[in-house]
Structure 1
Amino acid sequence: MAHGSSGGIRGRVDEVQRWFSEFGRQAYTRVSPVPLDDLDGWSRDPDTGNIHHHSGRFFTVEGLSAHVPDGPVPRWTQPIINQPEVGVLGLLAKETDGVLRVLVQAKVEPGNRNGLQLSPTVQATRSNYTRVHKGRAVPYLEYFREHGRHRVVADVRQSEQGAWFYRKRNRNMVVETVEDVELLDGFTWLTLGELYAMLAEEDRVNMDLRSVLSCMPLGGSALDTVLRSDGTGFRGALVRSCRPASGARHPMHELLNWITDTRTRTEVRADRIALDALDGWRRTPETITHESGRFFSVIGVGVTAGGREVSRWTQPMVRPEGQGVVALLVGRIDGVLHALLHARVEPGYLDVAELAPTVQCLPDSVEVLPAAARPPFLDTVLSADPSDIRYDTVLSEEGGRFYHALSRYMIVETDPAGVDHPDFRWVTVNQLMELLPHSHYLNVQARSLVSCLHSLLASSTETGSTAGVEGR
């Protein structure tokens, strides 16, 4: 498959922004606070205090007791979302006149700060696509449920936030079709270059689309057409990092051994408990908050929506307290760009640890934790010289469960010499792409940053402004 031409991408981005504004008049959400005890269709279990939907579907808000004996915080309790369903995040692709385009939708979610965001062709929980809510059918779902008629480009179950979800997974799919596809209202075709350009826009490409996009494989030989220089500088090192033949500091078998060893030697016990049994959390009829005022809260919202399968509903949501920092340190090792990945332990992971960005935290919340819990490279990221910052955009997490969950996503270049920590490894982009077809290796924040790295293949300058991608 070929990526679309870079010509006129800025103009196309402006067109998409105008389309957003026009479509936003009919696709919108109006969100207002509702006390947790007054949510329509949701109940508080009298024995546990857990919050569940009357259908028994969608998700529940429960308590979690976490025990990580060797961690900087050995024990704690917290609320957590338990959503055992595996949803579908599907991106439909089609090649026209030698140019690959993907079908994205302008989707509103109650937790989105800015209303509309670009999302995958299909973004639906099992409860949604089986129509538990008695709403309209999910458009284009048949391409991902009857994919024997089409070419499956990527298909893998991936985790979501292990700090807020209990063992949550979604099926990430990219399917290419040769059939004629009816273009419905609220959807548009974008080349990958155009979509990568949109990643430079603040809070425009949603988390689910970033996740699916990261799982789309890159080809090796055609990457030469991306590089319009002599192969020097940051972009040259990035392109070499995408090639299988490039030298990596750690061969793949060493990386896999390191991940397996981390998962084996790290003791983690995560037990679901009653929501009313949490220590250090305050529950009122309106909200659930931590006694420090940090970390996150559970709130209730009432939603009136246009352009959705259902026009009115109420639900609980997780609201982070403060803006996060999600950052990837990158460095050139023998001319090949490497990214510094963290083997991160979170209580909601299915398999103990996953590869995470170099830094992933809520800085305000870090201040109330023990000093040992401060991310090792947080100060390096926050004090980075602007000339070393390759990507810097505020993006949001999934707006269906999280309310205004914003993080500053950054890619920062540094000198890798002397950067050594047992919980971190330098990894090439190609190695990340080799791991992505397999479940539970890269967490959702790392997958977002892989998509951001791919967008920098299209950068027109060393500082990372986006101009489009022509080949892969």
Structure 2
Amino acid sequence: MPATPAPRLRPPAGDTVAAELARSALAPDGTGGGAQRFRSWFAERLQHVAHRTERIPLEALAGWHTEPGTGNVVHDTGRFFSVEGLDVHVPGAPVERWSQPILCQPEVGILGILAKEFDGVLHFLMQAKFEPGNAGGLQLSPTVQATRSNYTRVHGGRSVRYVEYFRDTAGHQVIADVLQSEQGAWFYRKRNRNMVVKVRGEVPLADDFHWLTLGQLHRLLEQENLVNMDARTVLACLPFAAHGPHPLARLGPAGPGDFPTAVVRSLSAAEGSAHSTTDLVGWITGLRARTEVHTRRAPLDGLPHWHRRDGVVSHDSGRFFDVVGVDVTAGSREVAGWTQPMIEPRGRGVAAFVVRRIDGVLHVLAHARVEPGYVDVVELAPTVQCTPQSLDALPPGARPRLLSAVLDAAPGQVRFAADLSEEGGRFLHAVNRYLVVETEDGEGGVTEGEHHRWMTLHQLDGLLRHSHYVNVQARTLVACLHGLAVPAALPAGGR
């Protein structure tokens, strides 16, 4: 018998992708015309895309029904998602038991961004997309942002553009591909496939799509309610860190001691960290093993402290969130009109990373957080993640211990601040104030504890190669911190 040929081994990519991403991060102008070309295109899409979102009673939803006996709100096809009840028991938590409505969407959707080189610089294909819950209407979304029900056309509408690149990646380079969770407080075990695929050959460009460099996207992240949540989570999954010296340290000038330099050093494993990654994974694993979270799906009708009145499901306290119905018109979508239930939060949230420099290397204080909808009990979250308006309805122990340090931070400590919308397909005008606040160790009680650890961006990048380690709010902040690795204004020729 002929000998079986040995498999061909591919050399490790090393920091090649990180170098490509660094070049793209240092390119503010893109494929010609730069920021002005993008602004003109986006303004034209704002005028062209007609959309409307109107609140209606849950009882008036077309294509949905309230299940007899449970009160759960379910799509007539049995697909898309449902609104159900959830009973939660977390022994030892500040609030040990509660019940709430929750979105149940077992399908795994695709959040995918196409990448392509133009003149040697990597660009990313972004979509101007309307979602009914978006603050401001159109936002920049991934190339593909679709549930399985959408891209298999359960709705009977148009096909999802470019989805074929993500359903069959043969012949292309997969830069990122990982299942990630969404909001564990509002979704029950929801996951999406976060993908970045580098294409070869020509890609036909549709009207609602635009190629942007990573540098352009980083600047746009600073604009309120422009880059949507789904785009932010995919950008966070890019392998931007490096094993050796980071390419940005060579390609982009930075002065010693400045904040971008600390961020760049944080992106390099060679610079070291306060804790080893092995120790951090052991810490997370230990918390997962010790923490009990008992959840039971329950009927939406009859949840303690929740009531359905005038077509809305609300908490007796008037806090937390409501479940509402909406009637949607969207000329640019696969279906021109539909109705659906949505979660509408009561108040603006806060999601903040407290950061500090340890021997000149930026570290973020990650919080190992429990949410009832997580697949694996605990995920790394921002240092502070809450809706301050709802805290009055909770015991004092539920108040994040570093909330005051974040809200009372001096302007000179705030390295990033922007109001950014959450997922507009399921949440109505859900907005968080995203912050990066720098502090000194021990200042204002900023220290580690049982549920907090200092970690570098390189370590977060490594954990983002795997599912269910870094939550969706923390992923937004990781994407924003990547943008802070490049000074907003570089000397002439620096880019």
TM above 0.5: yes
- Distance (Å, rounded) in 2 between the aligned partners of 1:219 and 1:379: 31
How far did 1:347 drift?
0.3
Q: Greater shift after overlay, 38-47 or 18-27?
A: 18-27
For residue 152 of structure 2, what is the aligned residue in structure 1?
130
Deviations 1:212-234 (A, max 9, x none): 00001115341213541233221
Aligned-partner SS, 1:148: coil
- Distance (Å, rounded) in 1 between the aligned partners of 2:254 and 2:357: 17
1:259 corresponds to which of 276, 284, 287? 284
| Residue 346 (str. 1) matches residue 371 (str. 2) | yes
- Distance (Å, rounded) in 2 between the aligned partners of 1:40 and 1:269: 34
Give the letter for the 2:139 counterpart: Q
For residue 3 of structure 1, what is the aligned residue in structure 2?
24
1:303 corresponds to which of 295, 319, 328? 328
2:52 corresponds to which of 11, 25, 30? 30
For residue 355 of structure 2, what is the aligned residue in structure 1?
330
- Distance (Å, rounded) in 2 between the aligned partners of 1:96 and 1:219: 23
Indicate how the Cα distance of structure 1 residues 270 and 25 shifts in structure 2: closer, same or farther if over 3 A, else same: same
Runs of at least 5 residues in structure 2 that lack an aligned partner in the other structure: 1-19
| Residue 155 (str. 1) matches residue 177 (str. 2) | yes
| Residue 380 (str. 1) matches residue 411 (str. 2) | no
For residue 6 of structure 2, what is the aligned residue in structure 1?
none
Q: Greater shift after overlay, 19-28 or 253-262?
A: 19-28
Contact (CA 8 Å) 1:89, 1:120: kept in 2 or not? yes
For residue 430 of structure 1, what is the aligned residue in structure 2?
458
Query: What CA RMSD, in Å, does the superposition of the two structures yield over aligned residues?
Result: 1.7
| Residue 52 (str. 1) matches residue 74 (str. 2) | yes
- Distance (Å, rounded) in 1 between the aligned partners of 2:254 and 2:98: 52
- Distance (Å, rounded) in 2 between the aligned partners of 1:104 and 1:236: 29
For residue 229 of structure 2, what is the aligned residue in structure 1?
207
- Distance (Å, rounded) in 1 between the aligned partners of 2:25 and 2:354: 29
2:261 corresponds to which of 236, 254, 269? 236
Aligned-partner SS, 1:376: coil
Give the letter for the 2:487 counterpart: S
For residue 405 of structure 1, what is the aligned residue in structure 2?
430
- Distance (Å, rounded) in 1 between the aligned partners of 2:29 and 2:201: 27
| Residue 90 (str. 1) matches residue 112 (str. 2) | yes
Matches within 5 A, 1:51-90: 51-90=73-112
Contact (CA 8 Å) 1:159, 1:170: kept in 2 or not? yes
- Per the normalisation by structure 1, the TM-score is 0.96
Deviations 1:267-317 (A, max 9, x none): 110110000130001112410000111100000000011211111100000
For residue 394 of structure 1, what is the aligned residue in structure 2?
419
Q: Identity of paired residues, percent?
A: 55
Indicate how the Cα distance of structure 1 residues 4 and 158 shifts in structure 2: closer, same or farther if over 3 A, else same: closer
- Distance (Å, rounded) in 2 between the aligned partners of 1:131 and 1:7: 37
1:118 corresponds to which of 125, 131, 140? 140
- Distance (Å, rounded) in 2 between the aligned partners of 1:460 and 1:15: 19
Deviations 1:7-62 (A, max 9, x none): 55897334323322211223232011110011000000011000000010000000
- Distance (Å, rounded) in 2 between the aligned partners of 1:456 and 1:416: 21
For residue 458 of structure 1, what is the aligned residue in structure 2?
486
For residue 447 of structure 1, what is the aligned residue in structure 2?
475
Indicate how the Cα distance of structure 1 residues 331 and 315 shifts in structure 2: closer, same or farther if over 3 A, else same: same
- Distance (Å, rounded) in 2 between the aligned partners of 1:223 and 1:39: 51
| Residue 414 (str. 1) matches residue 439 (str. 2) | yes
For residue 107 of structure 1, what is the aligned residue in structure 2?
129
How far did 1:97 drift?
1.3
Contact (CA 8 Å) 1:304, 1:311: kept in 2 or not? yes
Contact (CA 8 Å) 1:394, 1:409: kept in 2 or not? yes
Contact (CA 8 Å) 1:226, 1:457: kept in 2 or not? no
Contact (CA 8 Å) 2:326, 2:340: kept in 1 or not? yes
For residue 193 of structure 1, what is the aligned residue in structure 2?
215
Deviations 1:237-275 (A, max 9, x none): 111110011121110111001100111101110110000
Contact (CA 8 Å) 1:458, 1:468: kept in 2 or not? no
- Distance (Å, rounded) in 2 between the aligned partners of 1:226 and 1:81: 45
Q: Greater shift after overlay, 413-422 or 281-290?
A: 413-422
Aligned-partner SS, 2:269: coil
Contact (CA 8 Å) 1:326, 1:445: kept in 2 or not? yes
Give the letter for the 1:126 counterpart: R
How far did 1:367 drift?
1.7
How far did 1:469 drift?
9.8
Contact (CA 8 Å) 1:194, 1:468: kept in 2 or not? no
Indicate how the Cα distance of structure 1 residues 83 and 305 shifts in structure 2: closer, same or farther if over 3 A, else same: same
Q: Greater shift after overlay, 135-144 or 233-242?
A: 233-242
| Residue 290 (str. 1) matches residue 311 (str. 2) | no
Matches within 5 A, 1:351-366: 351-366=376-391
Runs of at least 5 residues in structure 1 that lack an aligned partner in the other structure: none
- Distance (Å, rounded) in 2 between the aligned partners of 1:450 and 1:28: 33
Contact (CA 8 Å) 2:229, 2:422: kept in 1 or not? yes
Deviations 1:416-455 (A, max 9, x none): 2461221100000000000001000000000000000001
Indicate how the Cα distance of structure 1 residues 369 and 4 shifts in structure 2: closer, same or farther if over 3 A, else same: closer
Aligned-partner SS, 1:451: helix
Deviations 1:115-161 (A, max 9, x none): 00000000000000000011100000111011012000000000000
Deviations 1:372-396 (A, max 9, x none): 0000110000000001100000001
1:166 corresponds to which of 188, 197, 205? 188
Contact (CA 8 Å) 2:182, 2:471: kept in 1 or not? yes
- Distance (Å, rounded) in 2 between the aligned partners of 1:15 and 1:259: 45
Q: Greater shift after overlay, 25-34 or 420-429?
A: 25-34
Deviations 1:385-420 (A, max 9, x none): 001100000001000000000010000000124612
Contact (CA 8 Å) 1:51, 1:62: kept in 2 or not? yes
Contact (CA 8 Å) 2:27, 2:213: kept in 1 or not? no
Contact (CA 8 Å) 1:217, 1:433: kept in 2 or not? yes
